[in-house]
Amino acid sequence: MPDPTDGPPTAAPVGAGRNLLFLREEELRLAQDLLFFGYRDFTAGADQILAELDLGRAHHRVLHFVGRRPGITVGDLLGILGITKQSLGRVLTPLIEQGYVLQSPGRNDRRQRLLSLTPKGEALERRLFERQREWVMRAYREAGPVAVEGFRRVMRGLMGAEARGQLERLEQRPDRPVPGRPPIPSSVGRPPTTDWPGRG
């Protein structure tokens, strides 16, 4: 988890317009409002689908990141979600029991637990993605490419260094490299993880 005392990374303002170095408090509060209402409405459609299945956003997050990185270890997933093993166990157990997620032992370390989506899980994750994709595509079209790039810069600026590294590893899956960026191994900065929710 990022240390809130570190503060966000600093960056020079990009583009024309008002001087962003002198933003008033009310404008910064507006940013909070935009994040809240944007996220609320972005998640509303997926929330409705999940509610019909007695699932929630925590389950959606697991489906999303396991789908993004098939074979992800429990330790890596814990690092991304920033939650405890016990919390992940409460979310992961019903997904496994209901046939959405498959767990399997690691090839080199049998104590590891690797996670992947089953066909049923892939279908649900795809359904959730398509509902949210429509929302994002509409917003992107209305805003235009310059605004979209600015949005991405702002969102990356809101992340701490650890979160940006996790995002880059997601973007640089072996089957989907990002042009102009060197590969970043998923194990950088930490040893292999063998812990599993529910295990001491």
Q: List the strands of the sheet with 113-117, edge to edge.
A: 72-73, 113-117, 101-105
Cα dihedral: 11, 12, 16, 22 (round 10)? 90
* Sequence ranges of the domains in the chain: 25-171
Lowest mean pLDDT among 12-21, 72-81, 85-94: 12-21
3-state secondary structure of 9: coil
Residue located via tokens 């074979």: 71
Q: What is the pLDDT of residues 85-98, one digit of tens each?
A: 999 999 999 999 99
Q: Which two tokens stand for residue 113?
A: 């637990």
The answer to whether 113 and 73 are in contact (CB under 8 A) is: yes
| % of the chain with per-residue pLDDT over 70 | 75
For residue 171, what pLDDT band results from cuts at 50, 70 and 90?
A: confident
Q: Using the 8-state DSSP alphabet, how is residue 73 labeled? A: E
As a whole number, mean pLDDT of residues 183-190 equals 36
Q: Which CATH class is domain 25-171?
A: mainly alpha
| The pLDDT of residue 92 | 96
Asked if residues 197 and 88 have their Cβ atoms less than 8 Å apart, the reply is: yes
Q: Please give the pLDDT value at position 25.
A: 85
What pLDDT digit, counting tens, does each position of 51-76 carry?
999 999 999 999 999 999 999 999 99
Identity of the highest mean pLDDT range in 10-19, 129-138, 168-177: 129-138
For residues 181 and 186, what is the distance between their CA atoms, to the nearest angstrom?
15
Examine the pLDDT at 153 and tell me if it is beyond 70.
yes
